[in-house]
Amino acid sequence: MLSIKNLRVSIEGKEILGGINLEVKAGEIHAIMGPNGSGKSTLASVLAGNNLVEVIEGEVLYMGKDLLKILPEERSRQGIFLGFQYPIEIPGVSMVNFLKTALNEHRKYNGLEPLSASDFLKVMREKKALVEIASSLTNRSVNEGFSGGEKKRNEIFQMAMLEPKLAILDETDSGLDIDALKVVANGVNKLKTKENATIVITHYQRLLNYIIPDYVHVLYDGKIVKTGGKELAIELEEKGYEWISKELAINSSPAIL
Partner 1 sequence: MNMGEVVPKTDIVKKLVDSYYRNADILNKSNSVFINEKREEGIKYFKKLGIPGRKNENYKYTNLEPVFSHPFRNAISPSNKYFDRDQIFKCDIPTLDTNVILLLNGFYFDRKTPLRELSSGALVGSFAKASTEYPELVEKYYGKYAQITNEGLVALNSAFVQDGIFIYVPKGIVLQKPLQIVNLIASDDDIMVQHRNLFVLEENTGATVIVCDHTFSPHKFLTNSVTEIYAGPDSRFNFTKVQNEHNDAMQISHTYLNQGENSKVTSNLITLHGGLVRNNFFVRLNGNGCENNTTGLFLVDKRQHIDNYAYIDHAKPYCTSNQLFKGVLDDFATGAFNGKILVRRNAQKTQAYQANNNILLTNDARMNTKPQLEIYADDVKCSHGATVGQLDEDALFYMRARGIGEREARLMLMYAFANEIINQIKVEPLRERINHLVDMRLRGELSRCQNCAMNCG
Q: Does 172 bind ligand ATP (CB under 6 A)?
A: no
**Measured between alpha carbons, how far is 247 from 141 in angstroms, rounded to an integer?**
48
CA distances from 240 to 33, 115, 205, 244 (A): 11, 49, 11, 8
Which residues inside 8-37 make contact with ligand ATP, applying CB under 6 A? 11-12, 16, 34, 36-37
Q: Which helix (H) or strand (E) holds 250?
A: helix 230-252
Q: How far is the CB of 46 from partner 1 (least distance, A)?
A: 12
- Say which amino acid occupies 127: K
Cα 28 versus chain centre, distance: 14
Residue 34 partner contact from Mg ion, partner 1, ligand ATP, none using kind-dependent CB cut-offs of 5 to 8 Å? ligand ATP
Please count the residues of this chain forming the interface with partner 1, following the rule CB under 8 A: 32
- Give the chain's end-to-end CA distance (angstroms, integer): 41
Q: How far is the CB of 157 from partner 1 (least distance, A)?
A: 12
- The 3-state DSSP class for residue 83 equals strand
**Measured between alpha carbons, how far is 168 from 190 in angstroms, rounded to an integer?**
16
Q: How far is the CB of 117 from partner 1 (least distance, A)?
A: 15
Nearer to partner 1, 75 or 226 (CB): 75
Binder of partner 1 out of 30, 40, 77, 151 (CB under 8 A): 77
Q: Does 41 bind Mg ion (CB under 5 A)?
A: yes
Q: How far is the CB of 172 from ligand ATP (least distance, A)?
A: 12
Nearer to ligand ATP, 86 or 179 (CB): 86
Binder of ligand ATP out of 33, 80, 81, 85 (CB under 6 A): 85
Q: Does 196 bind partner 1 (CB under 8 A)?
A: no
Q: How far is the CB of 168 from partner 1 (least distance, A)?
A: 10
Taking the CA atoms of the chain, what radius of gyration do you get in angstroms?
19
- Kindly provide the b/e burial profile for residues 150-180, where b requires at least 16 CB atoms within 10 angstroms of the residue's own CB: bbbbbbbbbbbbbebbbbbbbbbbbebeeeb
Q: Which range in 16-24, 39-47, 156-164, 232-240 contacts Mg ion by CB under 5 A?
A: 39-47
**Measured between alpha carbons, how far is 17 from 56 in angstroms, rounded to an integer?**
9
Q: Does 87 bind partner 1 (CB under 8 A)?
A: yes
Q: Does 61 bind partner 1 (CB under 8 A)?
A: no
Of 38, 4, 47, which Cα lies nearest the Cα of 22? 4
Nearer to partner 1, 151 or 226 (CB): 151
Enumerate binding residues for ligand ATP (CB under 6 A).
Answer: 11-12, 16, 34, 36-42, 52, 85
